[in-house]
A = this chain, B = another copy of it.
Amino acid sequence: MNPSLEELQHLVDVAMQRRPGTVLFKNAKVINVFTLEAEATHVLLAGRWIAAVGTFLEQSTADLIIDLDGAYLAPGLIDAHLHIESSLVVPSEYARAVVPRGVTGIVADPHEVANVAGIPAIEWMLHASENLPLEVWFTVSSSVPSTDHETSGAKLDLKTIESLLQHPRIVGVAELMSVAGFLSGNPEELSKVCLAESASKLPDGHAPGVVHRELQAYLAAGVASDHESTTLAEGREKLASGCFLMIREGSATRNLEALISLVDARYGDRVGLVTDDRLPQDLISEGGVDFLVRKAISLGADPFYTIRAASYNNARYFRLNRRGAIAPGYQADLVILDDLPAFKARQVYQHGKCVAENGQLIAKIPHVEVSTSILGSTKLPKLTLDELRLTHSSTRVRVIQAIPNQILTKELIERPTVTNGQVTSDPSRDLLKLVCVERHGHHGQCGVGLVQGFGLQRGAIAGTIAHDHHNCMALGVSDADILLAIERVGQLGGGLVAVENQKIIAELALPLAGLLSDLPLEEICLAMDRLNVSVEGLGCRFPAPFMALSFLGLAVIPELRLTDRGLVDVLKNSLVPFAVV
């Protein structure tokens, strides 16, 4: 992470012009995040590091001299909060997607794989992100499992978090999402802050809508950042209370437009831009944190403040030494741009070497073996139709209402449709059977309920992405199709499947933890497109049905959810029966 003594000697020798540099960028317009201006000057590299910036370098020698002829030279972007798993790819593939766009560093929370496979999964993510043309830091997932009402594949206790915080590439504790736990003074939650502070690392927050008294209490506990603000007032209040504000523009939730005016002279040194989660399709079409830079500038934000918020600010927040700026001693992670609003990288340098050109990665990506700890983690039981049954016992039952483009669900009380003493799906009323099967090899139990909103008229879908426990979720019109979809997911070793009339009509295998594919991003996108079109053909009204399915088990966001243990009333924080009595 830090330069060695030999590197420092090299740096000084090059800066003093006693030795030629490795690369000299001449006639650059350097984006200086310290002056918030572009400076017409030259930049000289010594291997991995920037040796000097200045007009005095005019006649310097270097192994490679590149005349930029007035093109911009910007620091490589650093994304301060994201989940690689949201893009369904392995770290190297994430790098292939974003590095050519000018992203040279990310801070990732391996929350999803950690819920499935625990420490070995985090260790594999660390291993799989070594020696990439992208610098990957991690925060330790802080809430594994998220609740007591679900069976996750692993548990990260305080001892584990403490030990992971010793890793040099682990720079904090990830989004502390149990706001209720914090506000009640829960010692396990508060201890996570103590562990981060003891390790001189950052305790990241996650406090959607938390303001006033609750915000004061949450921040008093020591939480240092938040990326869940949705309104200007909320963002401003958090900044005024000392919080570092990560402005998030993900696929599921988009807050940039609401918050962009905070990237200003008053607050601009304590805001960062982050993606949080990007679906594979959005990652390809829009990009990573580079998308936020373009969008922010198009919304009228100052380009220099914007670039600083997506580079130096994030680095400074996480104490990433010598990262995020073009200045002597900083790591030579650089982007060459023809203009700022387009933020289209002509070339990207990482560690002083050209790693991407014209949108294509040219750096070699090391092959990483997939660990057995992360493969084979989908251990579905052999189910029969019996286990999907919902016996009729009441004329009023709880139904989860899914809402388009929202993670929130509502609880409906409905009269069930009954056939032969069994509650069944009823597509005419958009009531579909919903199943959550424990798939981590613990007990294979099934939660069964009903969901409204998807609109399927036939068939079924199933998948092993199900926040945060990532059991196998399925829904459909016919129990037999649900059963087949789950079976096929099992055969794939995890993945997403659509079934119609006892036939698999589309699928994507996700053999790594049941969450990630080892395919190229383009192929994943094609498979996702096929899945979405197929499910639309079944009558589904949701544009991203598998994402919608993945949130039906998320027992930390109101109101009603289904886990392998049954229905969870999130506001009551307890399991509730299907039948209302």
Set of chain B residues within 8 Å of A319, measured between Cβ atoms: 200, 319
Is B5 in contact with A220, judged by CB distance below 8 angstroms? no
- Please tell me if the beta carbons of B185 and A217 are within 8 angstroms of each other in the complex: no
For the complex, what is the distance from the CA of A558 to the CA of B330, rounded to whole Å? 32
Partner-binding segment picked from A46-54, A411-419, A532-540: A46-54
Instruction: Kindly state whether residue A299 has any CB partner on chain B within 8 Å.
Output: no
**With A5-B194, A12-B185, A200-B200 as contacts: A219 and B34 at CB distance below 8 Å:** no
Is A234 interfacial (CB 8 A cutoff)? no
B4, B16, B36, B219: the one within 8 Å of A217 (CB): B16
C-beta contact mask, A2-27 vs B, less than 8 Å → 1, else 0?
Answer: 11110011011111110000000000
Known: A12-B183, A185-B9, A198-B2. A54 touches B190 (CB 8 A): no
Task: Given A5-B187, A52-B220, A269-B269, answer yes or no on A213-B15 (Cβ-Cβ < 8 Å).
Answer: yes
Over the window 182-212 of chain A, the binary record of Cβ atoms lying under 8 Å from chain B Cβ atoms (1 yes, 0 no) is: 1111010011011001101000000000001
Whether the Cβ atoms of A56 and B241 lie closer than 8 Å is no
Q: Which residue of B lies closest to A237 (CB)?
A: B54
The answer to whether B5 and A213 have CB atoms under 8 Å apart is: no
Binary per-residue interface labels of chain A (344-367) against chain B in the complex, 1 for a CB within 8 Å, 0 otherwise: 000000000000000000000000
A91 on interface, CB distance cutoff 8 Å:
no
Per the bound structure, the CA–CA distance linking A32 and B242 in Å amounts to 9
Residues of B within 8 A of A329 (CB): 219-222, 242
- Which residues from chain B contact A185 at a C-beta distance below 8 Å? 8-9, 12-13, 16
Cross-chain contact A56 with B213 (CB below 8 angstroms): yes
In the bound complex, CA of A24 to CA of B216 (Å): 15
How many copies the complex holds: the figure is 2
Q: Is the Cβ of B190 less than 8 Å from the Cβ of A34?
A: no
What 0/1 pattern do residues 315 to 353 of A give for CB contact below 8 A with B? 000010110010111100000000000000000000000
Contact assessment for B15 and A328 in the assembled complex, using a CB-CB cutoff below 8 Å? no
Give the complex CA separation of A5 and B193 in angstroms.
Answer: 9
**A4 partner residues in chain B, CB cutoff 8 A:** 194
Task: Let me know if B2 and A197 touch, CB within 8 A.
Answer: yes
Residue of A35, A52, A190, A217 contacting most chain B CB atoms (<10 Å): A217
User: When A34-B240, A328-B242 are in contact, do A8 and B193 touch as well, CB less than 8 Å?
Assistant: yes
Bound CA–CA A8/B190 (angstroms): 7
Is B241 within 8 A of A328, CB to CB? yes
Which B residues are in CB contact (< 8 Å) with A217?
Answer: 11-12, 15-16, 51-52, 328
B327 touches A12 (CB 8 A): no
- Let me know if A240 and B8 touch, CB within 8 A: no
Closest to A3 in B: B222
A382 interface residue (CB < 8 Å to B): no
Q: Which parts of A217-248 form the interface with B (CB within 8 Å)?
A: 217, 219-222, 239-242
> What are 25 A-B pairs with beta-carbon distances under 8 A?
A2-B198, A3-B194, A3-B197, A4-B194, A5-B187, A8-B220, A9-B185, A9-B190, A11-B217, A15-B220, A16-B214, A16-B217, A17-B213, A34-B242, A35-B239, A39-B240, A50-B220, A51-B217, A52-B213, A53-B216, A219-B329, A222-B329, A242-B328, A242-B329, A269-B269
Additional pairs, 11, CB under 8 Å, beyond known A51-B217, A242-B328: A5-B194, A9-B185, A16-B185, A17-B213, A35-B239, A50-B220, A52-B217, A216-B328, A241-B327, A242-B327, A269-B269
The 7 A-B residue pairs with the shortest CB-CB distance in the complex, in nearest-first order: A242-B327, A15-B217, A52-B216, A220-B328, A2-B197, A269-B269, A219-B328
